[in-house]
Amino acid sequence: MKTTYSLLFLFIMIFVTSCTNQVPFNREGWNTINDIDYNHREPMIKDLQTKYLKSGMHYNDVVKLLGTNGGGKSDDDLTLKYDIFVDYGWDIDPVETKIFIVNFLADSTYVSSEITHWKK
């Protein structure tokens, strides 16, 4: 009986830990587009935030790291935006988007990053 519970517990733990879909950040992979979106970027973001994006990093260094492919700048030039996912459904306009936003201070140093998710 103990063996059965131990095996069941082991199976559940393997299943739960395998559900986290994270991959190491890879610049070439980051800038590769899949059909019309960059939905492979999201699993890289945790690694990117913990190992690559550091407080005080300069704007130009972030652009060198992430590139400008699929990115956009805000009007105030204090953020970079990188598409992760765009769903158009059956419409010409997006019905759902996920964007990775990199924020900078006024002196162009990195301060934070986040994922925004919008759904119609």
10 found inside a domain: no
| Predicted pLDDT at 10 | 53
- Give the structural domain span for 36: 27-119
7 found inside a domain: no
User: Residue 118 — pLDDT band, cuts 50, 70, 90?
Assistant: very high
Phi, psi of 27 (to 5 degrees): -60, -45
3 found inside a domain: no
22 found inside a domain: no
Q: What is the CATH number of the domain that holds 112?
A: 3.30.1450
Q: Is the pLDDT of residue 67 over 70?
A: yes
- Tell which residue, 99, 73, 74, has the closest CA to residue 86: 99
61 found inside a domain: yes
Q: How many domains does the chain have?
A: 1
**Average confidence score pLDDT of the chain:** 82
| Predicted pLDDT at 34 | 75
| Predicted pLDDT at 50 | 94
18 found inside a domain: no
Among 34-38, 44-48, 105-109, where is mean pLDDT lowest?
A: 34-38
67 found inside a domain: yes
Q: Is the pTM of this model over 0.85?
A: no
